[in-house]
């Protein structure tokens, strides 16, 4: 088995276990305020609401984002080189549905997966298409294909639902404590210290766990993208470009070296660490995407025509 494949599988197992542990911790943090409010029934209702919200929310929020961004569907005849890349990536990832590429006329450098492997696609911005070469863009697209392949949009939707519900439940607990203040001051009721601790720390702990889960899924998607493209240097180069662009606001606030503690508050791992991990993976040139295409992969992709905005009504009513 190739060295890169061994490392990929070890990383998948490790990150999979970490994902299970983080999700279990999120469920536990959510269960505590649910139990304090309604006992066992509160736990069951809370987790049920999370599951229902995740199933409904893994696609709807993405449609709202696309609508607000003025996005449109980029057709094959408008971006043939990108669709040739996506066809190969989807085939290697085992995705059977035809790829869909959405275009947002934003100057920001961004790409994100939309929906799931059964009904989703990938959205890219104008800034990304103008800045990255075809080789770098192949790594980014492979990264997003990995998110679709492993259902990361649904996992992160469930984690976000847990965090939001934890915040709402602790807010209810806070209001309950305010109502009990007269009884506590009158000495008729002891101060519930355990309840105070839950109210104080549960929302922050849930948010930190959600951020840790996001970083975990990004590491897995990076290595899975290399398995799809056979080209770790392409994705590493794209990450370096994105870091130079997105790191400007941090540099403006904190100087050349932002505080290391900010890493705990990021949805993505530090770019330097991501690049280091990628460069430790052996390239598999026999499986490289660029050996199968005639395009100049050192230049930006050719977009023959930009689609217009589809409008909010289209995205909200869209079924697939």
Between CA 215 and CA 263 the distance in angstroms is: 10
Helix (H) or strand (E) holding 121: strand 121-125
Q: Which two tokens stand for residue 217?
A: 């899924």
* List of long-range contacts for 104-110, beta carbons under 8 Å, 24+ apart: 104/66, 104/69, 104/70, 104/71, 105/69, 105/70, 105/306, 105/309, 106/69, 109/241, 109/242, 109/245, 109/246
Helix (H) or strand (E) holding 123: strand 121-125
Interior/surface letters 176-204, b for 16+ CB within 10 angstroms, e for the rest: eeeeeeeeeeeeeeeebeebeebbeebbe
Bridge partners of residue 101, in order along the sequence? 74, 122
Options 144, 233, 243, 282, the catalytic residue: 144
Compute how many other C-beta atoms are within 10 angstroms of the C-beta atom of residue 219.
Answer: 18
Q: Which two tokens stand for residue 117?
A: 């492997």
Catalytic (active site) residue 144 = yes
Between CA 90 and CA 51 the distance in angstroms is: 28
Q: Which two tokens stand for residue 268?
A: 């993505």
Between CA 178 and CA 171 the distance in angstroms is: 11
DSSP 126-170: HHHHHHS-HHHHHHHHHHHHHHHHTTHHHHHHHHHHHHHHHHHHH
Residues carrying an active site annotation = 144
């Amino acid at each position: 088995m190739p060295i890169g494949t061994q490392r990929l599988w070890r990383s998948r197992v490790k990150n999979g276990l970490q994902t299970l542990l983080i999700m279990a911790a999120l469920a536990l943090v959510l269960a505590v305020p649910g139990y304090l409010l309604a006992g066992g029934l509160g736990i069951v209702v809370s987790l049920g609401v999370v599951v229902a919200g995740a199933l409904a929310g893994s696609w709807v929020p993405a449609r709202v984002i696309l609508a607000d961004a003025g996005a449109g569907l980029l057709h094959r005849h408008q971006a043939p080189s990108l669709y040739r890349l996506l066809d190969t990536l989807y085939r290697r990832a085992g995705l059977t549905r035809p790829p869909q590429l959405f275009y947002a006329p934003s100057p920001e450098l961004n790409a994100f997966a939309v929906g799931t492997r059964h009904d989703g696609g990938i959205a890219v911005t104008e800034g990304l298409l103008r800045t990255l070469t075809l080789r770098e863009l192949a790594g980014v697209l492979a990264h997003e294909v990995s998110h679709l392949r492993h259902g990361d949009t649904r996992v992160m939707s469930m984690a976000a639902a847990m965090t939001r519900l934890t915040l709402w439940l602790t807010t209810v607990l806070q209001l309950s404590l305010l109502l009990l203040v007269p009884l506590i001051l009158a000495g008729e009721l002891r101060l519930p210290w355990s309840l105070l601790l839950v109210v104080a720390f549960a929302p922050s702990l849930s948010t930190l766990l959600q951020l840790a889960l996001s970083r975990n899924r990004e590491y897995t998607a990076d290595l899975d993208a290399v398995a799809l493209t056979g080209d770790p240097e392409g994705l590493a180069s794209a990450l370096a470009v994105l870091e130079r662009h997105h790191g400007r606001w941090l540099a403006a606030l904190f100087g050349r070296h932002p505080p290391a503690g900010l890493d705990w508050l990021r949805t993505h791992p530090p770019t330097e660490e991501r690049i280091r991990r990628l460069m430790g993976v052996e390239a598999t040139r026999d499986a490289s995407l660029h050996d199968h295409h005639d395009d100049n992969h050192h230049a930006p992709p050719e977009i023959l025509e930009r689609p217009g905005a589809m409008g909010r009504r289209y995205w909200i009513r869209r079924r697939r």
